[in-house]
Amino acid sequence: MKGPATAELLADLQRFSLREGEFTLASGRQSKWYLDARQVTYRGDCVETVGRAVLEAVEDLAFDAVGGLTLGADPVALAVATCSGKRAFAVRKEAKGHGAGGRMAGPIREGDRVLVVDDAVTTGGSTLQALDAIVEFGGVVVGAACLLDRGGELGAALEQRGIPFFPVLGAPDLGYAYGS
């Protein structure tokens, strides 16, 4: 059963983020609808709703830090951190060649129990890329969450790795079929 923050998030996504037309998704697939989740995740008046909705989805999952692949995961991780008091971090797409280097940005530590987050996923490629980088770094991934699972595929890929998946909403919540 979805909680009050999830209902608020659904309304916000429908109001500010949902578009219909012809779109090419990050997965390369074509779609007649697109959810530009950043129209919600970057709104100051929606940040708390985003964080609370993810926390409703993961319920009592114990984690130390929350993050995912930059850019889509960044505001989601910060929203969850703000509402939970946990640490947020970002996974860079490529290792930085200067400063401390590496792919991790922010206060993640080796051995941390990590919740991987993303905004909207179709195949989950960004989530899996972040997960691999976190494991390589020495983090322990205890779960993965997204605001919208539009493809319905990531859960099976995570299950094969023994990682629980917590989508806040699915494509059917917006009136569309998975993978459409």
Q: Which residue has the tokens 């459409």?
A: 180
Question: Residue 68 — pLDDT band, cuts 50, 70, 90?
Answer: very high
SS3 16: helix
For residues 90-112, average pLDDT: 86
100 pLDDT exceeds 70? no
Question: Residue 102 — pLDDT band, cuts 50, 70, 90?
Answer: confident
For residues 56-71, average pLDDT: 97
99 pLDDT exceeds 90? no
At 2, list the tokens: 């979805």
Plot region of 122 (φ>0 → left; ψ -120 to 50 → alpha; else → beta): alpha
98 pLDDT exceeds 70? no
* Range name among 28-32, 35-39, 131-135, 157-161 with the lowest pLDDT average: 28-32
What is the percent of the chain with per-residue pLDDT over 70, rounded to a whole number? Answer: 97
28 pLDDT exceeds 90? no
Q: What are the structural domains of the chain?
A: 4-174 (3.40.50.2020)
Question: Residue 42 — pLDDT band, cuts 50, 70, 90?
Answer: very high
Question: Residue 101 — pLDDT band, cuts 50, 70, 90?
Answer: low
- Distance between CA atoms of residues 170 and 159, nearest Å: 17
- Distance between CA atoms of residues 3 and 22, nearest Å: 32
DSSP 178: T
For residues 97-106, average pLDDT: 77
